[in-house]
């Protein structure tokens, strides 16, 4: 099938990150995709290799769409995805009613809250505008079989670290992963030593970050903190300055700043680390698939709606109590010292991550569910 996927970048990288992963998964399954996006600049690092079957277009102006309307060769896709309520241009909606109407999907944000299962798959009749009379369908990702599921490309878990040891170059395809070779090829000031435990950091600006840095610097074990580019890197710089620490860390803590990775190498980072701090939506899902201990920094909302969202996630995935406590402090719901990241605690969290990965893996993945849903609605 042919797909038109519309994405607006609100802030950060999640909107485009999720859309690109969906596009890539669809093309891997033989579909062709046009991705319409208002700011594609992050694709330069997220997907530097591009993808022949994904045509990236700038968000269309009315004038551009009027020109397209004159082009006899242009056809709207069989499926149109409006990602995260981004609102399709009216001139595109006008094109949608010219031939056989596409299946129109409103792809929503990920949440474990109860309304998700209730709302998944509901119809929303279009009552006004050029597409009046068409139907939009709500499609909600989620953590239970009565939702749209989670993005998971077909071969993803066959190639996770536990199952594969074939060497690969630094920018590798997702087919093979060798942890040691991947880590050795990272552009770091100091190579990683065998006795260092590895923690990746992808977050916003958690108030508890200085506490984490101090705790790690005084821990029993040596830790390498691998800090991702952008807001995490700026937050760590600000925290080390406020604490009067060297930028490269102190005591048992060594801090290394990473470059922007492709999504493939971002996954590799999550596979390679002993603990992953992730944020937002897409990196959370990828950390769940990595099966390593994780801490989630949820996207903060002004009305504090993220508090309920975090609690629903903890409950849905039956998170251990100490990990919930860590999340409450990391996300600013509670104050006080972070529980120490001890070896015993990481073991406990690893058991939970591994059980959670297995449980979620038994669910239908989002793209398969979406294809089934579209087939019903055509």
Task: Return residues touching ligand TRH (CB under 6 A).
Answer: 10-15, 17, 46, 109, 202, 228-229, 260-263, 266, 279-283, 299
CB of 49 to ligand TRH, least distance (A): 12
Strand partners, 4: 34, 80
- Within 8 A by CB and 6+ apart from 359, the residues are none
CB of 104 to ligand TRH, least distance (A): 22
Nearer to ligand TRH, 250 or 262 (CB): 262
Question: In this structure, how many other beta carbons lie within 10 angstroms of the beta carbon of residue 54?
Answer: 21
Nearer to ligand TRH, 7 or 134 (CB): 7
- Token pair in block for residue 200: 């990746």
Whether the CA torsion 11, 15, 17, 23 is positive or negative: it is negative
- Token pair in block for residue 255: 């801090």
Nearer to ligand TRH, 197 or 297 (CB): 297
Nearer to ligand TRH, 21 or 130 (CB): 21
* CA distances in angstroms from 172 to 92, 130, 267, 324, listed in the order given: 37, 45, 11, 35
Alpha helices per DSSP H over the chain: 14-28, 43-46, 62-70, 90-96, 114-119, 179-184, 209-217, 231-243, 263-272, 282-290, 305-316, 321-330, 343-361, 366-377
CB of 205 to ligand TRH, least distance (A): 12
Catalytic residues: 15, 281
The residue of the chain with the least Cβ separation from ligand TRH equals: 14
Nearer to ligand TRH, 13 or 120 (CB): 13
Whether the CA torsion 29, 148, 316, 309 is positive or negative: it is positive
47 close to 20: Cβ distance less than 8 angstroms: yes
29 close to 56: Cβ distance less than 8 angstroms: no
CB of 112 to ligand TRH, least distance (A): 13
CB of 300 to ligand TRH, least distance (A): 10
CB of 276 to ligand TRH, least distance (A): 11
What is the side-by-side strand order in the sheet with 253-257?
253-257, 223-227, 197-201, 275-279, 294-297
Question: Whole-angstrom Cα distance, residue 260 to residue 373?
Answer: 35
How is the chain split among helix, strand and coil, in percent rounded to 5? Answer: 40, 15, 45
CB of 38 to ligand TRH, least distance (A): 13
Nearer to ligand TRH, 261 or 349 (CB): 261
Nearer to ligand TRH, 15 or 211 (CB): 15
């Amino acid at each position: 099938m042919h797909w038109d996927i519309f994405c607006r970048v609100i802030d950060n990288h999640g909107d485009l990150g999720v859309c690109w992963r969906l596009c890539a998964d669809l093309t891997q399954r033989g579909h062709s995709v046009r991705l319409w996006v208002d700011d594609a600049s992050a694709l330069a690092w997220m997907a530097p290799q591009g993808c022949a079957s994904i045509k990236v277009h700038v968000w269309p102006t009315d004038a551009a769409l009027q020109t397209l309307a004159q082009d006899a060769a242009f056809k709207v896709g069989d499926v149109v995805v409006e990602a995260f309520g981004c609102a399709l241009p009216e001139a595109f909606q006008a094109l949608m009613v010219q031939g056989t109407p596409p299946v129109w999907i409103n792809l929503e944000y990920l949440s474990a809250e109860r309304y998700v299962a209730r709302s998944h798959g509901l119809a929303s009749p279009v009552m006004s505008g050029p597409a009046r009379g068409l139907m939009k369908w709500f499609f909600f990702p989620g953590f239970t079989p009565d939702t749209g599921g989670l993005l998971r490309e077909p071969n993803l878990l066959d190639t996770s670290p536990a199952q594969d040891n074939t060497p690969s170059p630094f920018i590798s395809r997702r087919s093979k992963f060798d942890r040691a070779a991947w880590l050795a090829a990272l552009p770091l000031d100091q190579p990683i030593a065998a006795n260092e435990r590895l923690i990746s950091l992808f977050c916003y600006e958690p108030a508890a970050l200085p506490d984490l840095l101090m705790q790690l610097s005084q821990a029993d074990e040596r830790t390498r903190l691998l800090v991702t580019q952008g807001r995490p890197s700026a937050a760590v710089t600000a925290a080390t300055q406020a604490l009067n620490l060297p930028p490269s860390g102190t005591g048992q803590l060594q801090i290394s700043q990473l470059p922007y990775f492709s999504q493939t190498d971002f996954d590799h980072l999550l596979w390679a680390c002993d603990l992953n701090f992730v944020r937002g939506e897409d990196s959370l899902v990828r950390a769940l698939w990595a099966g390593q201990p994780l801490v989630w920094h949820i996207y903060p909302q002004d009305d504090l709606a993220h508090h309920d969202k975090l609690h629903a996630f903890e409950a849905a995935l039956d998170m251990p109590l100490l990990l919930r406590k860590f999340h409450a402090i990391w996300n600013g719901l509670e104050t006080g010292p972070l529980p120490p990241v001890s070896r015993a605690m990481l073991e406990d969290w690893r058991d939970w991550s591994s059980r959670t990965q297995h449980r979620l893996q038994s669910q239908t993945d989002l793209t398969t569910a979406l294809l089934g849903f579209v087939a019903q609605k055509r």
